[in-house]
Structure 1
Amino acid sequence: MPRRDRARRNPRTGRRAQRPKDVLHGRHGHRGDAFRCLGCRRDVPVRAPGTAHRNHCPYCLTSRHVDGRAPGDRGEECRAPMDALTLAVRDDGEWLLIHRCRGCGTLKANRPAGDDHPLALIRLALRPLADPGLARLAGVVPGR
């Protein structure tokens, strides 16, 4: 059995690069070059540096509940807006955006894109410090 090609791995992180995916946007599966954000109503380009498909707005970090089992499959029926709750960090140091669906309450983890607004990411990272209720939900009680 042939071995997988290791040349596609990032030499710095050792992780395999994402393969390009043919992502369809909209209910009827049209291929567009932009979509309208449900949060800030800006036009957002579909292409994003650092990810094979865009799943959130780079300005306000709002997403839409469209992916079912696999990222980019657009198989979810809910289609409600998803709010960015907080940031999480993997063991390898990679950041993840945690979104919660307004419609069904599902939690999803998404990779930040390379063009996400840095102040929006920092504001999200500092949110548990400013909102003690959010820290209690996460199981972190300040001062203990």
Structure 2
Amino acid sequence: MKYSSREKNNYQKEACYENFICKSCGCLVVPEGAGSHHRNHCPNCLNSVHVDNLPGDRAANCGGIMEPISVWVRKNGEWAIVFRCSKCGHLSSNRIAADDNPVKLMSIALGPLARPAFPLHEIGGARHAL
């Protein structure tokens, strides 16, 4: 898979103002709506491409799709997305962007409630054991 010049630059200390096409959904992604100088994922599907070993270094040669698997809340109350590479399993986290799809974010956040890791009908019995 070939990458544009966006992936070849080092964005650890400089802002990225380049547009790109999402490798997953084909959406044109522009940095202006992100509310940040470091756009790294598609605001539509929230997927990214595994191009960094460290944020902004563009040193990873994997190129796998980074899929959003969870969200978490930082100490300052800001939401961040947890990504997992579909090719190598690498995990990373990045803050949400101002123009991220709110329905997709809530779907990811509510996923564990919709698909619990244990049978819900057993909660009643476990509660009485305490």
Which range, TM-score by smaller chain?
0.7 to 0.9
> Could you list the runs of 5+ residues in structure 1 that have no partner in the other structure?
1-23, 137-141
Please say if 1:65 is aligned against 2:50: yes
Percent sequence identity is: 41
C-alpha contact (below 8 Å) 2:49/2:63 kept by paired residues? yes
State how far apart, in whole Å, the 1-side matches of 2:72 and 2:100 are. Answer: 16
| Match of residue 90 from structure 2 | 106
State how far apart, in whole Å, the 2-side matches of 1:32 and 1:114 are. Answer: 16
Question: Which letter does structure 1 place at the counterpart of 2:19?
Answer: A
State how far apart, in whole Å, the 2-side matches of 1:105 and 1:56 are. Answer: 17
Please say if 1:87 is aligned against 2:71: yes
Aligned with 2:6: secondary structure?
Answer: coil
Picking from 123, 127, 131, the partner of 2:107 is: 123
- Cα 1:117–1:131 change in 2 (3 A) is same
Deviation at 1:92, TM superposition (A): 2.2
Aligned with 1:132: secondary structure?
Answer: coil
State how far apart, in whole Å, the 2-side matches of 1:91 and 1:26 are. Answer: 30
State how far apart, in whole Å, the 2-side matches of 1:25 and 1:57 are. Answer: 14
Give a deviation string over 1:89-120, Cα, whole Å, max 9, x none.
12221111000001110110111111111111
Deviation at 1:32, TM superposition (A): 7.2
> Could you list the runs of 5+ residues in structure 2 that have no partner in the other structure?
10-15
Aligned with 1:52: secondary structure?
Answer: coil
* TM-score normalized with structure 1 length: 0.68
C-alpha contact (below 8 Å) 2:79/2:96 kept by paired residues? yes
State how far apart, in whole Å, the 2-side matches of 1:79 and 1:66 are. Answer: 6
Aligned with 1:122: secondary structure?
Answer: helix
C-alpha contact (below 8 Å) 1:49/1:114 kept by paired residues? yes
Picking from 25, 28, 32, the partner of 2:6 is: 25
Deviation at 1:45, TM superposition (A): 1.1
Picking from 3, 13, 19, the partner of 1:34 is: 19
Question: Which letter does structure 1 place at the counterpart of 2:81?
Answer: L
C-alpha contact (below 8 Å) 1:48/1:54 kept by paired residues? no
C-alpha contact (below 8 Å) 2:6/2:18 kept by paired residues? no
C-alpha contact (below 8 Å) 2:7/2:51 kept by paired residues? no
Aligned with 1:61: secondary structure?
Answer: coil
